Each structure stands twice: as structure tokens, then as C-alpha cells.
Amino acid sequence: MRFSDVIGQSRTKAFLQQLHQGGRVPHALLLLGPTGSGSLALALAMAQLLQCEKAAGSEDMFGPTEPLTEPCGQCGACHKAQQFIHPDIHFSYPVISKDSKPAVSTDYLPAWRAALNENPYLDVNQWLQSINAENKQGNINKDECNAIIKKLSLKVFEGRFKILLMWLPEYLGNEGNRLLKLIEEPPEQTIFLLVAETQDRILNTILSRCQLVKTDTLSDDEVVEGLKRLRNLDDNRSRQIAFLADGNLNTALAMADNPAVDDSHLLIDWMRKCYRGFGPDLVKCTEDFAKLGRENQKQFLQYSLYFLREIMGFAVGSPNTPRLRPEEFQTAQNMAKLLGFDQIDRMAQLLNDNIYHIERNANPKVLFLDTSIKMNRIFKNN
């Protein structure tokens, strides 16, 4: 991956490129940013730049040339890095036990390469489901830490550096203490690239040994650019999705990969029936939701949360212009007159819980019927 392939993040790209060009790359960088912002993609681009055979600069008949700020994409090292098979770029990420035995990252390396090729903006739930984790908790265990220590104790095989790219060091827990000495005093030509989303879950002793680089939430325009470039969507559909994705390109890509559903019409019809509370209507809605499939159910709930957020803006008198299409605007205004702040908050919490349950394969008929009944009670303020 090259920096030009990464969507947005112009500030962070420029900073990383300046570090390389000035020969000031620290031995441990921690890229911290929200899910779907591209922190992992940036780390992949940085790893390729560090290994690029032409990026270090050289000396010709006219004197020394400056280091590059972008991997050439043509040399052998770049070709291997782009396929995630460079022998001096090591990966570490959350995994689950395999056949009831502790597992390490290399046990899942083919799946990891496939996941990165498909979507370098993925989240941890997608990754764990791709390796059939089901309800198991992923982690980076002591066996993985010992494997890292062993890998980095070896000499450079063919690259300029030995690089460990660790995705989500939050999953180290206290096992991270095993790596403290290695991070503080790494072997020669060794660089750590850590990619995190939640700073509070990382050991302070690890944070203190890394240079922290924060990445930015993507703007709507950048998400639109990503959808056009990666999914070839038209401008109107891209902007509809960008509104819902709220800066998360991974969410936007997931929405783009599912058939378009008229979430606005579906939500308004469902809300009317929840308000009336007529049992047969609620059962019919539940059956319709069950036919959508899990990803479309999640997309519908995400749209519903977005819609409630805009209604809350009306309820509290926010001066910001609602990010709603004309056909949605009037409905949101009417609902804001009907619902109080506490009711909207209870609805949002209920829908957010539903996303969690759907990701864990809850029965959709039971889930949506239960939710419809609870929505009726919230409307009636019970």
C-alpha cells in the first residue's frame, strides 16, 4: 500500500513522510485513531516506504539524492509488501485459540492477508468473524509475545528494517509487559508500528515508549471520495452513505456492499406502527425485518440511530443544519414535537443494543418484536 492509496489523512501522511525524509523515524510509532479512519492503511504504507529499495535515497554522479516520501511501488520489496509477504514485515493481531490450544498470529496469516487485500479499513468484529471466532474473545496472548521476541531477535533477512506491525495492542492486556524491554531497547534496525483505536485500554508503560501519532476522523467528502474510488459509486449514493457512516469508511464500505434498502421509508412506517401498537402490524414488520439479512438489519439500525440523532438536534434547539434529505426533514420535525429528550435517548440505547445482538446472531424475529413492543412503551412514556 502506498500513501496515495490511503483515503484522506493528509496531515498524518505528511508527518510520517517528513519523519522518513528527515531520517527521524522513531523505533516505536503508535498510530491512534477511530475505527474506519485508516490508521491501519497508514501503517501499511509506512511499512512499505521503510522497506522500499529506492526510498532511502542513494548517491549518483551528481551527489546524494533525498529519501523518497512515497514507496516506488516497482521494486521487489514493494511488490512483496503490497502482497503482505515481505519476510521482514511481521504482523501481530488479535486471534482466538485453535483446536483448544493457544494460537499465534502466524496461524492465521493466510486469512489476515486475504482480509487486508479485501479491506484495510476493517474492524475487529469483521476480522474475528472471518476466522470463525463466533462468540470467542480475541486476544494477543503470551505465546504471541514470545513469538514476537523470537522473530525480532533474528537478523534482517532482506529488507532495510525488521518491522513489527501490531494491530490493536489493546488486546495485549497485561501480556504487554513481556514486550516492554524489547520496545524500549529494540535490536538494531527494528521498528514497531502499533495501530490502536482506544488509548485507555493500552498499558501506560507501552504508551510511554512510543511516539504517539493521532489520525483524524474522515470528513464526509473524504468518505465520498473513498466510496467512489473503492466501490465506484455515484455521487448521490456516496453522499447518502457518508451521512450515515459518520467518518467511518469501513461502515461506509459495508453499506455500499449491500443492496440499497429504502431505510427512510422503512423506519417511518415502523415508527408509525410502533406508536399505534397494533399487534398484527408489529408482527408483520418483524417478519419483514427478518427477511432483510443481518447486514441490512445493521444498516437499518445505524440509519435509525442517525435519524434519532438529528431529531435530538431539533429537540434541543441545535443551531446546526440537520443533515437530512428534504423528504426526511418534515418527519423529523414532527417527531421532535412528539418525543422528549429522555424518550429519544432511550430509543437510541435500545437500537444500539440491537446492533450488538445482531452481530452475535440473535434471532431477528424475537429481537425486533421485543424492540417494537419496547418502542411502543417509550412512545407512550411508560
Domain of 115, CATH number, reads 3.40.50.300
Count: domains in the chain: 3
Q: What is the mean pLDDT of the chain?
A: 89
Model pTM above 0.85: no
Among 256, 283, 309, the domain-final residue is: 256
pLDDT in tens, 321-337: 556 666 677 777 778 88
Least confidently predicted of 56-65, 92-101, 163-172: 56-65
User: Domain span at residue 13?
Assistant: 3-214
Shared domain for 236 and 200, answered yes or no, is: no
Characterise 277 by phi-psi region: left (phi > 0), alpha (psi -120 to 50), beta (else). Answer: left
Are 268 and 193 in a shared domain?
A: no
| CATH code of 365's domain | 1.20.272
And the C-alpha cell for 28? 516505536
Q: What is the dihedral of CA 253, 245, 83, 186, to 10 degrees?
A: -160
Q: How confident is the model at residue 153 (pLDDT cuts 50, 70, 90)?
A: very high
Given a cut of 60, is residue 61 above it in pLDDT? no
Q: What was the pLDDT predicted at 62?
A: 46
Q: Rounded to whole angstroms, how far apart are CA atoms 249 and 224?
A: 9
Q: What is the mean pLDDT of residues 144-173?
A: 95
* 335 shares its domain with 228: no
Q: Are residues 79 and 173 located together in one domain of the fold? A: yes
Across the range 231-235, mean pLDDT stands at 90
pLDDT for 107-142, tens place per residue?
Answer: 999 999 999 999 999 999 889 989 988 768 889 999
Angle of helix 341-359 relative to helix 294-315, nearest 10 degrees, comes to 160
Instruction: Identify whether residues 68 and 127 lie together within a single domain.
Output: yes
Q: Are residues 118 and 206 in the same domain?
A: yes
Specify the range with the lowest mean pLDDT, choosing from 125-139, 177-191, 250-264. Answer: 250-264
Lowest mean pLDDT among 87-96, 177-186, 355-364: 355-364
205 grid coordinates: 508503560
183 has pLDDT over 80: yes
Q: Are residues 49 and 107 in the same domain?
A: yes
Residues 285 and 225 grouped into a single domain: no
E strand map for 186-314: 190-196, 211-214
- The reported pLDDT for the residue numbered 307 is 85
In whole angstroms, what is the distance from residue 196 CA to residue 215 CA? 10
Which one of 256, 279, 314 terminates a domain? 256
Residues 348 and 270 in one domain: yes
- Residue 56 shares a structural domain with residue 120: yes
Q: For residues 155 and 252, state if they share a domain.
A: no
Examine the domain organization and report whether 361 and 309 are in the same domain. Answer: yes
